[in-house]
Every structure is written in C-alpha cells, then in structure tokens.
Structure 1
Amino acid sequence: MTASETHRITELGTLKAIAHPLRMRLYRALFVARTATASQLADQVDEAVSLVSYHLRKLADGGLIEEAETQSADGRERWWQPSSYGFRIDEADVKDAPELAAASAAFGRTLSEQRAEMHARFLDERLTWSEAWRSASISSEWLPRLTAAELAALGAELEAVLQKYDQAARAAEAAGDTEGRENVAVHLHGFPYRP
C-alpha cells in the first residue's frame, strides 16, 4: 500500500461489499491497525472470528484489502491489510447506473451513521480524555455560498491538508515517535442544501 493511492470503486459487487455495515467497521479497524488478523479484528468489533473471516474474504474479493506478510512465528494466522490508502466512488461511475447509484447511496448512509456514532461516542466519553484532547477536538459548521467548482476546489484542498498530516504522522510513527499519539477521526461534509 502506498500513502497516496486510492482504490476507485466502479463495480457493483465491490460497492455492495463495502456498503455492508460490519464490513465498513472492519475496513476502518484494519485501516487504523495497518495489519491485523481476523481474531484481532473480531475482538474490536465484538463478533465471532468465523463471521469476521467471512467478511474479510468479501472485502478481499472486492480488492479493498489483501493478505499481509505474516507477523506470527508459527505462520498459522492469516494477516490482512488495506490494499490501498483508501477508496473513492466517483459520481461519473454511478450516475447512469441505477444499481450502482442505489448501492452508493446505501454506502453513504452506512458511512454517515457510523461517523455519527463515532462522534456521539466521543461526546459521551469526552470527560475521560485529557484537557489537551478535549481542547484540541473540533466541531464546526460553516455555511458558505459557493459554486460547484468552488466546493470541488475546497474539497481537494482539505483532502491535501489531511493527507499531509496523515503522512507526517505515519512517518513519525515509523521512526518510533508514538508518544501522545491517538487515533483521530476527521469527518468533513460539503454538500448543497436548500433551507
């Protein structure tokens, strides 16, 4: 996996695979862990190892994850890793394909629900975090009046900034700088609406 490549989803089977709520949770957990076994992921999502193994194979069939180099001495466990830095669904690929559009909408709803759950959990548990983390957390809403081109440019700039920070953090971790690091979720939405 390289730090900048993303998997472009254009096939219905792959889109349906990632739209499944448990598979999205597994993908997210694997992305954070970098590499993991079905047993390790099963502990994180509180599901049976056999069920997790099944869903990991479905993600692998869609090209979203791949086998990783074995990290155990006996080599009996199967290790997994994301096959790319992430994935994307382009509007151009789904706009004229009703099944893809429906699967894309289902995926978007699943993702939105899981993001909301993550943020709600932080709000419920915020007092368990240090003052530094509570002060550093962000939650903002802006309501600018933009053109479609301006919104696209804004999205590209925000993605570049986030990728810069993520790549720097990965490099620092690889160099052994892990002090004070936590997993951080940054959710940004930008879409038109009418009041």
Structure 2
Amino acid sequence: MSESEDRRYRRLDPRSLRGLAHPLRMRLLSTLRHDGPATASQLAEKLGESSGATSYHLRQLAVHGFVEDDPERGKGRERWWKAAEEGTRFDDSLFDNPDPAVRGAADLFMHEIATHHTEEVGTWLGTAHDWPEAWRRSSDLSDFTLRLTPAQAFELNAKLHDLIESYTELAPGPEAEDAAQVRMHLHSFPRSTH
C-alpha cells in the first residue's frame, strides 16, 4: 500500500474495530463516505432512524476518529459531519485476537459488510431500469470458480485491488455529466467440495 493510500484508508485495530462494529454506525459511516457530509437529522431521515440515535452514534464514531465536524457547512447550532477517511482496512489478525469481544466485533463487522453488499446489489437490480442503457450494459454480476493456492488467491486479490485503485487516478471531473459513483464488490473465499 502506498503512503498516500495509507492516509486515505483507516486500518482497524482492536479499539477502533469495537468502536465501529455496530450496524447503525457502519451505515452512518458508509453514507457519509458515499454521499458526502450531512447532519444527524439528514442521516436519520435517509436511514429511517431517529435523530437522537444518529446523533449518539455519530459522536461515538467521532470518539474513534471515523467522522469529524465539517466546519465549512452549517449555520448556528447545525452540526455537519464528514467521514475522516475514504475507506477502512481490515486486518485478518483481528479474528485471532485473544479478546473474545474483539473477535465478536470482527465477526459482526464482516457480516454487516456482506449484508450491505447484498442490499446494494438488490437496490441495483430493483432500479436498473431507471438507468440509461449504457449503464445497464456496463454493470456486471459475475462469479468465477478457480482452483488456487492461498498464495495465488492473495496475489490475485492484490492485483485486482491495484487495478481498481488505478481507476481513482482516471476519475472524471465534476463536469463529466455521464459519470456516476460505481460500487465494486470483491468477494473471494475458499469453498468445500465435500
């Protein structure tokens, strides 16, 4: 990982993982990362939660450094929040942490990520007809089965991550009217054939 990439992504440690591993906190952070700064009330409306709940969990995210005030926005007492980094890096060693609370938080975190990915795919399938044909043709729901060693799977994932990361440098500016946020999900895991 390059130095600039390292500054854009937060590497989870046991303390920060336990601060983030909550379904609403993860949804709040994801929304701020994807949709930009917002107030607790705006997030509550968007996510179907109470503003009291979003305010509380935003403050908890701030304690752990995931979100911060956006002082360029808001008037008076209106508090705007923004994501502190673009993404999160998960260290697999968290699954082996001696503290059962950390291992439980790791499991919850990964299951919430999988649930969120499923919801995003479902939303796309339910709204694809609202998008121009060019976007429908450029979307993809593929799966592949390969026979690999752990080292080969690690290498393949690293190459895919590098390829995807290279497209951040090619991102069109705001004047590109046909550009949109594109979500890429990468899932790779072994499966038993017995």
1:120 to 1:38, Cα distance in 2 relative to 1, 3 A: same
The answer as to 2:85 corresponding to 1:84 is yes
1:3 shift after superposition:
6.2
1:1-195 mapped onto 2 (5 Å cutoff): 4=5, 5=7, 6-12=9-15, 14-72=16-74, 74-97=75-98, 98-169=100-171, 172-173=172-173, 176-195=174-193
TM-score (norm 1): 0.86
Structure 1: where are the runs of 5+ without partners? none
- Over the matched positions of the two proteins, sequence identity in percent amounts to 35
Q: What does the per-residue CA deviation read over 1:37-57, in whole Å, with 9 as the maximum and x for residues that have no partner?
A: 223322321222222111111
1:66 shift after superposition:
1.7
Q: What does the per-residue CA deviation read over 1:113-144, in whole Å, with 9 as the maximum and x for residues that have no partner?
A: 11101101211222222211111111111111
Higher mean C-alpha deviation, range 133-142 or range 97-106: 97-106
Provide the rounded CA distance (Å) in 2 between the counterparts of 1:99 and 1:107: 12
Structure 2: where are the runs of 5+ without partners? none
Query: Do the aligned partners of 2:95 and 2:107 also contact (CA within 8 Å) in 1?
Result: no
TM-score (norm 2): 0.86
Query: Do the aligned partners of 2:94 and 2:106 also contact (CA within 8 Å) in 1?
Result: no
Structure 1 counterpart of 2:82, one-letter code:
Q
Q: What does the per-residue CA deviation read over 1:142-184, in whole Å, with 9 as the maximum and x for residues that have no partner?
A: 1111111111121122112222223432xx33xx324122222
Alpha-carbon RMSD? 2.0
Q: What does the per-residue CA deviation read over 1:102-122, in whole Å, with 9 as the maximum and x for residues that have no partner?
A: 211111111101110110121
